[in-house]
Amino acid sequence: MSNKPKILVARAIFAETVDRLRQHFDVQDNPGDALWTPAELAQRLADKDGLLSTGSQRIDAALLAAAPRLKIVANMAVGYNNFDVQAMTAAGVQGTNTPDVLTETTADFGFALLMATARRMTESEHYLRAGKWTQWRYDMFAGSDIHGSTLGIIGMGRIGQGIAKRGAHGFGMKVIYHNRSRLAPALEAECKATYVSKDELLRTADHVVLVLPYTPEAHHTIGSAELALMKPTATLVNIARGGIVDDAALALALKDRRIAAAGLDVFEGEPNVYPDLLTVPNVVLTPHIASATVPTRRAMADLAADNLIAFFGGRGPLTPVNKI
């Protein structure tokens, strides 16, 4: 019997990463990518020392109680709202995430979604594919400009800063932002970004991008009251987390053209999508793929694995989210 630590890999990941884990650990993986229920996950964790998780596993007190040997959960995501950090710390379980490696890729995607939304790219593609394009028209799918417009970013962490730089330096946008805390002056200058209140941002931005982490306080940061503050020509992009936007209120605002359009990569209760969002034309919908490039997903899997290797190697986790 091996005396290596026992690791559970909760979802399918790159075979090379699993092979590397096998050099250090006794690994149970999930190559078929079965979606385990919390009870099935708990049963598999009963004899495990470590877990490589993704955003789809909830790590809470009930799960921890069923996993008496568990010492670390390495999330393959920068966001870790699937962790009950307090319960993990109380149980002496280390949590880690995957910051930095996905910053630029995710900022690229945020900008892509903003452009697709403002320039009505998927709506016009559906029209073309449906065989409806029979003649040119002066106002056909006329959207709003990106260059020279005002970009409002809510949540100015690493990804928000990446989007600000793309907007300010690449597209000559005026960048305003709102965040829990103001950036240091040097960072504001680098991003060419001006701090404003949330209301001022919503009132003045042509394009609003949400990049804040999900916390209970961030729930429905954008609801009907906030949508009412936005310009009728404005667009809204959410690449942060489902639940930050009230999807029902947004669907109504899009239907009533209270705002021009939205781009959504994340949803309340995903992978379920609020049904009305599937029927309104002025929304671009993607299935939580902002970090999905092959090199970035590899880097995320590798960093999660490196956290496990460093932790059990006695070197401490590389990117901890709690202190145990």
CB of 144 to ligand 8YV, least distance (A): 27
- Nearer of residues 235 and 319 to ligand 8YV, judged by Cβ: 319
Cis, bond preceding 185 (omega within 30 deg of 0): no
241 is catalytic: yes
Is residue 288 among the annotated active site residues? yes
Q: 3-state class of 174 per DSSP?
A: strand
Site for ligand 8YV in 91-110 (CB under 6 A): 102
Which of 24, 38, 47, 54 is in the footprint of ligand 8YV by CB under 6 A?
Answer: 54
Indicate which single residue of 13, 70, 77, 202 sits in contact with ligand 8YV (rule: CB under 6 A).
Answer: 77
Region label for 243, one of left (φ > 0), alpha (ψ between -120 and 50) or beta (otherwise): left
- Of the candidates 105, 147, 114, which has an alpha carbon nearest to the alpha carbon of residue 286? 114
The DSSP code for 166 is: I
CA distance 276 to 263: 14
By beta-carbon proximity to ligand 8YV, the closer residue of 55 and 243 is 55
Q: From the candidates 188, 241, 268, 297, which is the catalytic residue?
A: 241
Any residues with CB less than 8 A from the CB of 161 and at least 6 apart, and which?
183, 187, 190, 191, 193
Q: To the nearest whole angstrom, how small is the minimum distance from the Cβ of residue 91 to ligand 8YV?
A: 22
- List residues bridging with 263 in a β-sheet: 237, 284
Can 270 be counted among the known catalytic residues? yes
Chain mean position to CA 32: 24
User: How near is the Cβ of 288 to ligand 8YV at its closest, in Å?
Assistant: 6
**Does 303 engage in binding with ligand 8YV (CB under 6 A)?**
no
20/241 with CB nearer ligand 8YV: 241
Smaller CB separation from ligand 8YV, 156 or 205? 156
Instruction: Select the residue interacting with ligand 8YV from 78, 113, 159, 218 (CB under 6 A).
Output: 78
Task: Report yes or no: 236 and 245 within 8 Å, Cβ to Cβ.
Answer: yes
Query: Closer to ligand 8YV at the Cβ: 55 or 162?
Result: 55
> One of 288, 297, 298, 315 is an active-site residue; which one?
288
Q: What is the DSSP letter of 277?
A: G
Q: Which of residues 4-43 bind ligand 8YV (CB under 6 A)?
A: none
The number of beta carbons lying within 10 Å of the beta carbon of residue 68 is 10
- Phi/psi for 124 (5° steps) reads -75, -30
Q: Is 291 in the site for ligand 8YV (CB under 6 A)?
A: yes
Residue numbers at the binding site for ligand 8YV (CB under 6 A)? 54-55, 76-79, 102, 291
